[in-house]
Amino acid sequence: MAQNPILRGFNPDPSFCRVGQDYYIATSTFEWYPGVQIFHSRDLVNWTLVARPLNRAALLDMRGNPDSGGIWAPCLSHADGKFWLVYTDVKRLDGAFKDAHNYITTCETIDGDWTDPWYVNSSGFDPSLFHDHDGRKWFVNMRWNHRWAGSGMNPSNDRFDGIELQEWSPERGLFGPKHDIYAGTDLGLTEAPHLWRRGDYYYLTTAEGGTGYDHAVTLARSRTLTGPYETHPEKHVLTARFSPDSPLQRVGHGQYVEGHDGRHWHSFLCGRPQVGPDGKLFCATGRETGLAEVEWRDDWLWLKGGGQVPPLTLPLMADQQLEREVTRRFDGPTLPPEFQWLRTPHPERLFTLTGHSLRMTGRESLGSWYEQSLIARRQEEPAYRAGAVFDADPPTWQQAIGLITYYNRHKFHAALITHEAGQRVVSLVSCMGDWPGERLTFHGTHPVDDGLVPLEVQVDRAEQQFLLNGTPIGPVLNAALISDEGGKGEHASFTGAFVGMVAHDLTGQGWQADVLSFAYTAQI
């Protein structure tokens, strides 16, 4: 049978919608560009990436955004003959304040050119748009309260200050009274609101408990849109917080959809924990997307089969096609679809496709939040092997290009082709979760003969090893570092593990080098 997660490797915060027999899921991308991933399926098992809609400066410019800032929790819907996408661009996430700007864009086709956005508000994050039966549209988001103590919907005032609702239209923006509709449960950290209507009730699903192992999907209902909302008899429809033996953990943050065949489904965020070298759990593949069948009883939604922990297998008759091995030659006009870069809407300054190679232009350092030449793909399984072939001869130690396993600027391992002591070498360097400070750890250099340079990395859960010409170099490194739980930890790390190519030129002169191919093999 097909298995959860259905979207494997860093695809969190799934917004789920249906148009006829076509199903779509939109997921968060944070600082990775272009923003938002949208997948399509007809069998709910096999999903194809069909769009990254936030692909130009008018829609998204994240230069200067911090690690794990950028695009949080999009909401995808369909009404009035077109798709609607709500998204947040987070400019600050540390400390008491959140600078989180919310926008709406539309498109008649899922893979077309999306409109320049409407700015909506900045009062909180995880916004969504509810299209009511009478044609009116309502904007709903959690409200952030920067005061540690004070007034608000939430009596414990954990800064997640409840869910607010206000009418919105393209012509008028937000208008009319603002309604405080739900304070959440005692689990707290109430976010990710999605509204829908069924029968005599309006239903509100939220995520609670944070992004870690206490995560949960909470449900409430009301006979009127503006409340009051009563909480589900069991509070949470989906959670694994009381089931440490479940292979799916961190279950929360999803959306309900009624299928075209009358069955009922709820998407959810999840992680597949592994055991690290210190005995602690880490999710090598980040936060992923799962799907669970649900059912209605007494006008409440319940996990089909009972309980709250979603099953690992899906009750669907479809062969799950998972791509385990892929080799890219960079001989086409565009970057292969699995690759993204960081923050900037101007990728032409980072790379070009020559027709036979990926030509990378060295820009700022591995710690930059502005213009970093780093092109990478997601780690989709706990074990994999990846490699690239480089044509590069850096003139000094200030220029480098190579292979990297990357989470953010304080969690990475890299094998860099550079120049030291009069010769071309591969230098192994890491940032071992040091924050703040981002201190570098060097693991030695290895001379490189003339010609092309093939570099590989073998990752097996908590361990990784770089290879040069097929021969291991340097020490076995801690791959558990490249996870949400590494470094600052799960409540400050929202992206996922990537592997790819990186180049820098610390002189600012834009030195260039070529990547001829890239191969990735997932291992079960």
pLDDT at 149: 55
Q: Mean pLDDT over all residues of the chain?
A: 95
With beta carbons less than 8 A apart as the criterion, state whether 523 and 337 touch.
no
pLDDT at 152: 56
pLDDT at 321: 81
Q: How far apart are CA 489 and CA 173, in angstroms?
A: 37
3 state DSSP class of 347: helix
Per residue in 449-458, pLDDT (tens digit) is 999 999 999 9
Task: Work out the pLDDT band at 317, boundaries 50, 70, 90.
Answer: confident
Instruction: Answer yes or no: is pLDDT of 83 > 60.
Output: yes
- From the number of C-beta atoms within 10 Å of its C-beta (0-12, 13-18, 19+), residue 182 rates as buried
Percent with pLDDT over 70 in the chain: 98
Task: Work out the pLDDT band at 163, boundaries 50, 70, 90.
Answer: very high
The two three-digit tokens of residue 209, written as one number: 């408990």
Q: Where are the beta strands (DSSP E) in 298-452?
A: 300-303, 325-328, 341-342, 351-353, 358-361, 373-378, 383-391, 399-408, 411-420, 423-432, 440-447
Task: Work out the pLDDT band at 44, boundaries 50, 70, 90.
Answer: very high
Full-model pTM: 0.96
Residue type, 400: A
Q: Establish whether 371 is a catalytic residue.
A: yes
The two three-digit tokens of residue 109, written as one number: 């086709």
490/238: higher pLDDT = 238
With beta carbons less than 8 A apart as the criterion, state whether 206 and 184 touch.
yes
User: Which range is least confidently modeled, 33-47, 137-151, 224-238, 278-292?
Assistant: 137-151
- The Cα-based distances of 53 to 84, 117, 193 in angstroms read 11, 11, 22
With beta carbons less than 8 A apart as the criterion, state whether 91 and 65 touch.
yes
Per residue in 401-417, pLDDT (tens digit) is 999 999 999 999 999 99
**What's the sign of the alpha-carbon dihedral 262, 266, 267, 272?**
negative
Domains with residue ranges and CATH for the chain: 15-242 (2.115.10.20), 325-523 (2.60.120.200)
Catalytic residue among 371, 381, 463, 490: 371
The two three-digit tokens of residue 419, written as one number: 């120049």
Instruction: Answer yes or no: is pLDDT of 156 > 70.
Output: no
Instruction: Answer yes or no: is pLDDT of 106 > 70.
Output: yes
Strands 351-353 and 137-144: unpaired
DSSP state of 318: S
pLDDT at 157: 57
